[in-house]
Amino acid sequence: MNADSFVLIATLVKSRAGIVLTPDKDYMLETRLAPILRSEGLPSLDALALKLRDTRSEILARAVTEALTVNESSFFRDGKPFDHLKRLMPKLQAARPAGQKLRIWSAACSTGQEAYSCAMVLRELGIRDAEIYGTDLSREVVERAREGLFTQFEVQRGLPVQMLVKYFKQEGGKWRASPELRAMTRFEERNLLADHRVLGRFDVIFCRNVLIYFDPPTKERVLNALAGLLAPDGALYLGGAETVLGLTSRLAPIPGERSAYGLASSLAMAG
Ligand SMILES: C[S@@+](CC[C@H](N)C(=O)[O-])C[C@H]1O[C@@H](n2cnc3c(N)ncnc32)[C@H](O)[C@@H]1O
């Protein structure tokens, strides 16, 4: 691929998804975009770049962007945020008026393991007045999350066997999330770069393992937007390699908790 083609594809993906592709990622472009070259009958990435430039096809631009997202996820990934969630949710429930639903947002939810893990935590706590909203840029993963159907390999990653038998049913060699879990969850396409104010306030936001793909100004913009939606006593969970430090002063680490952040103003008042 020539340098101009790389710049064209990298600029497209950065503007559509915030994802930064560095030139050392050209091997990744070749493997990830190979299926698109085949389906479009194109001989090379240079030809794909030309087509993107000349046709400005929304469908093709979307397919290229989605192909370059990393959709890796697993149940109860990294453990700690879910341990914190278990302790936090009863406190939040006690602090809310009776009947008010607790709201969790799994932003960049990929195939839904994070959202379903939250649903299991809530079920185990006996909390039913809750809704879990899972969103992702990629249409394909959102559809998979909605189906709630996981392979044997996927359920073996992080899902304790007692939770598997309690909350999933075998279906044609795969495992389907139970109707109770699915009733608590809702999945939609949503770009993290969009204006999220229409979504209202969330008690808990998971935004994990996606900011690592963004540059600092984009991380800052997304974190400030999430801070604007977080309840004063709520929590934002980031991935293990992500932080708010040096990016926004609106959020601060929750003392003693790994990967958990709260509104800096509330944490300062709590002392
Ligand atoms: C590595 S997965 C993380 C999944 C889950 N949060 C976890 O930690 O297991 C990253 C996800 O971010 C999504 N993503 C990338 N850029 C995005 C954007 N601008 N808006 C929304 N989702 C995005 C990708 O489609 C992908 O599914």
Domain boundaries, the chain: 3-67, 80-270
Distance from residue 209's CA to the centre of ligand 1 (Å) = 7
So what's the pLDDT on residue 218? 98
Closest ligand 1 atom to 19 CA: 16
DSSP 8-class letter at 214: S
- What pLDDT digit, counting tens, does each position of 59-102 carry? 999 999 999 999 999 999 999 999 999 999 999 999 999 989 99
Q: Please identify which of the residues 32, 62, 182, 250 carries the catalytic annotation.
A: 32
Q: In what order do the strands lie in the sheet with 149-150?
A: 149-150, 174-177, 168-171
Q: How far is CA 4 from the centre of its chain?
A: 31
Helix (H, G, I), strand (E, B) or coil at 99: coil
3-state helix, strand, coil in the chain (%, to 5): 50, 20, 30
Residue-averaged pLDDT of the chain? 96
Closest ligand 1 atom to 18 CA: 19
242 touches ligand 1 (CB under 6 Å) = no
Q: Do domains 3-67 and 80-270 have the same CATH topology?
A: no
Share of the chain above pLDDT 70, in %: 100
266 touches ligand 1 (CB under 6 Å) = no
Parallel, antiparallel, or unpaired: how do β-strands 251-253 and 102-107 relate?
unpaired
CATH architecture, domain 3-67: Orthogonal Bundle (1.10)
So what's the pLDDT on residue 257? 95
Q: Check whether 271 has a pLDDT greater than 80.
A: no
So what's the pLDDT on residue 206? 98
So what's the pLDDT on residue 184? 97
Query: Which residues fall within 8 angstroms of residue 258, CB to CB, at 6 or more apart?
Result: 80, 81, 240
184 touches ligand 1 (CB under 6 Å) = no
Specify the CATH superfamily of domain 80-270.
Vaccinia Virus protein VP39 (3.40.50.150)
Distance from residue 202's CA to the centre of ligand 1 (Å) = 19
- What pLDDT digit, counting tens, does each position of 122-143 carry? 999 999 999 999 999 999 999 9
Query: Which residues fall within 8 angstroms of residue 168, CB to CB, at 6 or more apart?
Result: 150, 155, 159, 175, 176, 177, 178
